Structure 1
């Protein structure tokens, strides 16, 4: 049985499950090469996940979709037919968001708004395929629920700018049921919930005020915050309240009011102080929220999802709350993870919650599995120097130790926004200025240093990691403090606040990545390497061999390494 999960909003993509196992994932931007691509129904990522699995659309048994953009042709009617006709005449995308159409009609039954037979025809799936639509925040929750193995007594929370008119949700798992504490997925049509109480929107508005692009550059603000003083944090924090039932409210009735407040408050400040203010305020608001939820349902385990939890510093704050023994952040925490949650929702409806397979991710490499020979053949065709090797890890480590910058191209692309050893740029962490030199080559502006990766057996020697954060660190979703004796040894990966966002790895997950690291340690005595995503500024992460070679030609890196050897620019 094949279940296809689709999301057509921003950060579109597709995920494919065979029975209850995820077998393929693709974010649309990796195919179109347009950052954060979305808003269309015709997704290349659908065909990519089917190609990975070796099946066709006619083999899909269930399709699970977000209530986002659908083509006009599948609606029984729309709430604005004149406007739709005018947009179509002007050549604009005539699709409409299902959630908005349903809210406009106060209709909870998707089948009364959408012609499922037409939708199946547009999708190209068989007539007997099942179609389901999901709730945005519940899908976020299900990603972290499915990929944790906590048997019971766990809290699952989501937080983002807004999705299906909700901003926050919280669920308690008692071993048999997921109890909704806040953000009931059956009340998503209450448009008043799109009020000005969204910490995610506040952070995006601050990103805009500071001079960066909202819904894209929030990570820059997280890094910049460490350089400033949180002089306006109290003013923001005091405008948000956490109620005894675990809900968050604010003094703002509409996002426009929140945006105006953030602009007026932060515009006079330096960008460093503005960043520090929104960062600290966000941490305090979310920390209060989680503490109140834990007062309602005392648990030791907290799973997190939604775009707000892309904030690695905030996640460290949550992990430090007394009584929490482990946190987990779904690696595709933003909307790119919704296809996974959508498919899981379909599986739960078919099999029941307690019959769903739950385990931890063993790997995140769910993209098309390119071999080293694919890269070598592409390089040979492009007449690039190829160094075939029986020991590519050792040779790559020697070049890195000598100060060169390389990129690993190995297997399938990573699920989620982070590069985790399949499409990563590698460098020595021994010199702080490597951040500036690599950023210059990639045309990036970053304020947080690059992330380190470290073997599991060395992690606790270098970083302050324990059972509460170890698993989250496997996917680079949380910051930790760096032990003092290592600060000057690995300065390229240590931020000014003495934190780093390490990726903890094992050989079972990625043998080439691991072996390069161990060879580097043998040569230098340093147990870490720099890992930053293999892409230039405003470019999605590299996907294909041809894109990797293009980066080499453009002098983004000095060499490529794969399991078949090294590729070096002439």
Structure 2
């Protein structure tokens, strides 16, 4: 059975701009349906998956994933007529909430309804009976399936937390024998994801885009400073759930569209909000620390209750909150569960994959398998790379053997150069996992500042991740024994061992932690060999790994974008498959 999954709401942002002109630009991201993507699954597993942003260049776009769909069909070697189902990762049904105003009525019809998405499919593939093939999947079921069906855990507690699904913001499931059973739901009015997003707005960042900046800023803050005000953000209940009083400060549907009431309440608690681009004060760092503390405290409360109630000792998580790597690391260290699987595309791009997996599970019995690396995106052969680099003005490209690529790159890295690394099939999800990466020496005391200010052109408080061979991870990092594969997707913050923090300054955050990625030889042989070669030269088999993109740009997809990005950047070297590329001297 072949199932295509899709996510995103094509007109979500444009509808809001058209109907509510004059809002702050940041408020147009307070919408459902960003991060559109497509995925193809069959009886053998995941065939292809990619986010639409990688094709259009518009970061986090919610546009109908036409190019991602076409890619998935091409990789599967099929036409859309050969697909049994197209599964969509939302299942909105009209309710009284949609009749609150003319705006919300129109929004349901033009954005939220299944018909709005079916009309996009019909416009591009008019000859297909979509009434038969289209399946709307409840959003949290899609997220849950994306994690559970790829976890390898036959039975597990499954936690989905995000801004909101259709009407809920957290759902706890029991996953057993391939079936997902909801145990408890928390309504959207009490959303941890939206709370974190409202604080993101308050701190002058982009809603549904920059929450990871708040996570990175939090370790600079004092968690104790606002401890007496945390109950105003979230209150814990006796049944393993919670409430978020702050979001009740939004008065009416219009304030829900801007979170003006929530920001007003935050102003009363913590002082005036930070304007975008304004200097960061210690107060802002302390607010970031406070909301991170609330998120962690609340997640532990939920897991403590439901782990005890169900007796389940394995956990799967998805939804945007599952991308909070600091909270994931705390849960891993808590001892509440033995193993955790976080779906690497845990945001709404991953709901496309989950919708496909869920729809497949309804019609065919499938074993729960452990996924490997999410290298499900476009791949380019040597001929395509050669055409990209031949006669390109401004650079020189030389084809090398695999061993030479590894040795030459290791030497450049050991000598302090920054290398863009483009290999194999593109990763699915927000993390560069060794195929679309920028690599550097983690030992350089000034490397982090250089990458932030000159190469990536981003805020100086942002940390970078280390990548290490799986067999070496315990040497440098405090990870859970026996669960080394848990860290393959760069989704857990762990402690750097104290004796190595001065050795790894470029990847050790201010609080002595790092968002580590482990690499197994069978998952990525060339990266594994490169780390080893760098270790032979330096005595430290660890590299700095960050995504291959510049400020405001999605991670690069193809050789042409990779080369163009390199040539307009301050990157020292580019490796495109087997081609070593260097910028010509001016």
TM-score bracket for this pair, using the shorter chain length: 0.7 to 0.9
| 340-349 vs 549-558, which moves further | 549-558
Q: How far 1:296 sits from its partner (Å)?
A: 1.6
1:243 to 237, 244, 247: 237
Does residue 1:14 correspond to 2:16, yes or no? no
1:404 matched to which residue of 2?
417
1:212 matched to which residue of 2?
205
Q: How does 1:249-260 map to 2 (within 5 A)?
A: 249-251=243-245, 254=248, 256=250, 257-260=261-264
1:29 to 42, 53, 66: 53
Instruction: Say if 1:420 and 1:234 are closer, same or farther in 2 by CA, change over 3 A.
Output: farther
Q: How far 1:510 sits from its partner (Å)?
A: 1.4
Does residue 1:361 correspond to 2:371, yes or no? yes
| 120-129 vs 443-452, which moves further | 120-129
**Residues 91 and 137, structure 2, Cα contact 8 Å, conserved in 1:** no
Structure 2 unaligned blocks of 5 or more: 9-32, 251-260, 273-281
Q: How far 1:322 sits from its partner (Å)?
A: 2.7
Instruction: Say if 1:382 and 1:68 are closer, same or farther in 2 by CA, change over 3 A.
Output: farther
Instruction: Say if 1:524 and 1:568 are closer, same or farther in 2 by CA, change over 3 A.
Output: same
Instruction: Say if 1:238 and 1:208 are closer, same or farther in 2 by CA, change over 3 A.
Output: closer
**Residues 12 and 28, structure 1, Cα contact 8 Å, conserved in 2:** yes
1:187 matched to which residue of 2?
none
1:64 to 87, 93, 100: 87
Q: Secondary structure at the match of 2:458?
A: coil
Q: How far 1:178 sits from its partner (Å)?
A: 2.8
**Residues 232 and 246, structure 2, Cα contact 8 Å, conserved in 1:** no
Q: Distance in 1 between matches of 2:222 and 2:101?
A: 51
Does residue 1:141 correspond to 2:135, yes or no? no
**Residues 252 and 258, structure 1, Cα contact 8 Å, conserved in 2:** yes
Can you list the C-alpha shifts for 1:71-120, whole angstroms capped at 9, x where unaligned?
xxxxxxx98999899x9xxxxx997233xx5xxxxxxxx7xx78979965
Does residue 1:375 correspond to 2:376, yes or no? no
**Residues 466 and 514, structure 2, Cα contact 8 Å, conserved in 1:** yes
Q: Distance in 1 between matches of 2:247 and 2:567?
A: 52
Instruction: Say if 1:450 and 1:312 are closer, same or farther in 2 by CA, change over 3 A.
Output: same
Instruction: Say if 1:151 and 1:399 are closer, same or farther in 2 by CA, change over 3 A.
Output: same
Does residue 1:559 correspond to 2:552, yes or no? no
Q: Distance in 2 between matches of 1:265 and 1:54?
A: 56
Instruction: Say if 1:121 and 1:565 are closer, same or farther in 2 by CA, change over 3 A.
Output: closer
Does residue 1:418 correspond to 2:436, yes or no? no
Instruction: Say if 1:467 and 1:82 are closer, same or farther in 2 by CA, change over 3 A.
Output: same
Q: Distance in 2 between matches of 1:117 and 1:234?
A: 51
| RMSD (Å) for aligned C-alpha atoms | 2.8
Q: Distance in 1 between matches of 2:529 and 2:119?
A: 52
Does residue 1:443 correspond to 2:447, yes or no? no
Instruction: Say if 1:82 and 1:252 are closer, same or farther in 2 by CA, change over 3 A.
Output: closer
Q: How far 1:238 sits from its partner (Å)?
A: 5.5
Q: Secondary structure at the match of 2:172?
A: strand
Q: Secondary structure at the match of 1:491?
A: coil
**Residues 463 and 508, structure 2, Cα contact 8 Å, conserved in 1:** yes
**Residues 14 and 46, structure 1, Cα contact 8 Å, conserved in 2:** yes
Instruction: Say if 1:247 and 1:323 are closer, same or farther in 2 by CA, change over 3 A.
Output: closer
Q: Distance in 2 between matches of 1:563 and 1:119?
A: 35
Q: Distance in 1 between matches of 2:458 and 2:146?
A: 31
**Residues 154 and 178, structure 2, Cα contact 8 Å, conserved in 1:** no
**Residues 233 and 281, structure 1, Cα contact 8 Å, conserved in 2:** no
Q: How far 1:402 sits from its partner (Å)?
A: 0.7
1:460 to 463, 466, 474: 474
Does residue 1:225 correspond to 2:229, yes or no? no
Does residue 1:395 correspond to 2:405, yes or no? no
Q: How does 1:308-387 map to 2 (within 5 A)?
A: 308-351=321-364, 355-383=365-393, 384-387=395-398
2:266 matched to which residue of 1?
262
* Aligned residues between the structures: 531
1:538 matched to which residue of 2?
552
Q: Distance in 1 between matches of 2:174 and 2:141?
A: 12
| 26-35 vs 356-365, which moves further | 356-365
Instruction: Say if 1:242 and 1:219 are closer, same or farther in 2 by CA, change over 3 A.
Output: same
Q: Distance in 2 between matches of 1:240 and 1:202?
A: 9
Does residue 1:55 correspond to 2:78, yes or no? yes
**Scaled by the length of structure 2, what TM-score is found?**
0.85
Q: Secondary structure at the match of 2:398?
A: strand
**Residues 398 and 580, structure 2, Cα contact 8 Å, conserved in 1:** yes
**Scaled by the length of structure 1, what TM-score is found?**
0.87
Q: Secondary structure at the match of 1:404?
A: coil
Q: How far 1:459 sits from its partner (Å)?
A: 0.6
Structure 1 unaligned blocks of 5 or more: 71-77, 88-92, 102-109, 185-192
Can you list the C-alpha shifts for 1:403-458, whole angstroms capped at 9, x where unaligned?
11001111111010000011000000011311111122221125232100000110
Q: Distance in 1 between matches of 2:568 and 2:118?
A: 47
Q: Distance in 2 between matches of 1:115 and 1:443?
A: 37
